[in-house]
Amino acid sequence: MTDSTRTEPEGVVARTTRDLSRAAVSGWLGTAMEFMDFQLYSLAAAIVFNKIFFPDVSPAIGLIAAMATYGVGYVARLAGAVYFGRMGDRIGRKKVLFLTILLMGGSTTLIGVLPPFSMIGFAAPILLVVLRLIQGFGAGAEIAGATVMLAEYAPARKRGLIASLAALGTNSGTLAASGLWAILIAVLPDRQLLSWGWRLPFLLSFVLLLLGVWMRSNLKESPVFQQRPDVVEGVALSRKEIEEGGEHTLEQGLRQRKGKAFLLALGLRFGQAGNSGLVQTFLVGYIATNLAVAKSVPTAAVVYGSILGFAIVPLVGLAGDRFGRRPMYLALTALTVVVAVPMMATIATGHAAALTVAMVVGLNIGVLGLFSLESVTMAELFGSRTRFTQLAVAKEIGGILATAIGPVLAATLTAVTGHWWPIAAMLIVYSLITFVAAYFSPETRDRDLVRLEDAV
């Protein structure tokens, strides 16, 4: 690709190499920032917020209250997905991505300057919840918007590779936040950590905010959005405007019944989201509590797996470009089903080295590999008129149903049975749901993303 505008075979006006690079960095930075904010908040809620914002209650109640402030973000994310998704389909991807990074970065930075309970009383936790809601509202459309922008910017034959940068951003953000907290805990005594040290990660996110705002203010609109036949002077025509204008070609695109592509996308999302909640969240606590293994062992395994993911994610993206999305989905989900029981049996031995290898394998096959495919396939399933909205809502509903509820269900089942097999069973069920969705999905690798209708 040269540094001049050219037209792809599908009729999409491609950007220059510089434009594509800027879009790629912007997408990576946005998802990195989203997951960095997510991890910063979740770790702070577990480590210090109960003492800073809820000090007048018992430690147990304080922890529950702190984690509740973390949980409200899931509700806000779904609301943000609906609101900003519709906006992105109506007025363009660029404007929405500029707003979402401002909301995420601004609210995260402001958390770092909140007065504690000891200074302003109950106003402190109230302000914390408000900022968490704003943070989640912006994040609800960030990864979907970044994914859509990357897919719509990329040349057709490199769509999987370039869209996988959104998945790499999640690794970058999670590792950065975990590293910052690890350093603070290691070098600061508890008194300093509680008085001012906890603020540093949140304040440092302001640097990422400035970089993100600069990148996105110089980002050009998606070429697919500009090529849409229903977009006039940068704004999509409403259904009423199309019908009153007698645009028969556009009316045909509107007649398609929605729902099938959304359900397939939700099924594709389920395996990755559910496996992520089990491997990256639940297993860490399960191994430390039930197997009496030091918590540093499974935590380190997740870090090692994430580092390996920097190679696995783009490789899976390349393979999807070469062999197709559907065959790769079927292969990875089938492999996850096959390794689920041996993986959990190995983890149950409590042997640190074997446990680490098992978690690294499970994370890269059943979570990160699927995330790489998800980043592009869900975008390709939807028509350009409602792509942003449907993708964002499918991601957030899948996250609530699988990532949020899955660990709670796993904790309940393992407590009742006293065994590890429910975890393996859940990994198998989640993966089979995605296998079935992929089986019934069309191959989307070469789809023209300008088309208004869904792929099915």
Do 337 and 423 sit in the same domain of this protein? Answer: yes
CA pair distance 50, 302, nearest whole angstrom: 25
User: Residue 11: what pLDDT?
Assistant: 46
Do 190 and 325 sit in the same domain of this protein? Answer: no
Do 61 and 135 sit in the same domain of this protein? Answer: yes
Contact of 270 with 433, CB cutoff 8 Å: yes
Identify the helix (H) or strand (E) that includes residue 232.
strand 231-232
Identify the helix (H) or strand (E) that includes residue 127.
helix 123-153
Contact of 175 with 305, CB cutoff 8 Å: no
Which amino acid would we find at residue 428? Answer: I
pLDDT (tens, 9 = 90+) of the chain, 456 residues, equals 334 343 444 444 556 778 878 888 888 888 888 878 877 777 777 677 777 887 766 665 655 555 565 566 778 889 999 999 999 999 999 899 899 989 988 998 999 999 988 888 888 888 888 888 898 898 888 888 989 999 998 888 899 999 988 888 888 887 888 788 878 878 888 888 888 888 988 898 888 888 888 888 888 888 999 888 888 878 887 777 777 776 656 665 566 677 899 999 999 999 999 998 888 878 877 887 788 887 778 878 888 898 999 999 999 999 999 999 999 999 999 999 999 999 999 999 999 999 999 999 999 999 999 999 998 999 999 999 999 999 999 999 998 888 878 887 888 888 889 899 999 999 999 999 999 999 999 999 999 999 988 998
User: Residue 67: what pLDDT?
Assistant: 54
> Would 451 be classed as within a structural domain?
no
User: Residue 76: what pLDDT?
Assistant: 87
Domain that holds residue 403: 260-440
CA pair distance 66, 154, nearest whole angstrom: 41
> Would 246 be classed as within a structural domain?
no
User: Residue 132: what pLDDT?
Assistant: 86
User: Residue 118: what pLDDT?
Assistant: 85
Do 220 and 359 sit in the same domain of this protein? Answer: no
- DSSP letter string over 321-332? HHH-HHHHHHHH
- Quick one: CA dihedral 302, 308, 311, 317, positive or negative? negative
> Would 456 be classed as within a structural domain?
no
> Would 396 be classed as within a structural domain?
yes
CATH number of the domain where residue 151 is located: 1.20.1250.20
List the structure tokens of 122. Answer: 């109950």
What letter would DSSP give residue 246? Answer: T
Do 435 and 296 sit in the same domain of this protein? Answer: yes
User: Residue 194: what pLDDT?
Assistant: 84
Q: Which of 116, 2, 111 is nearest to 50 (CA)?
A: 116
Number of domains, the chain: 2
Contact of 232 with 242, CB cutoff 8 Å: no
- The pTM of this model reads 0.86
Residue that is last in its domain, among 207, 227, 247: 227
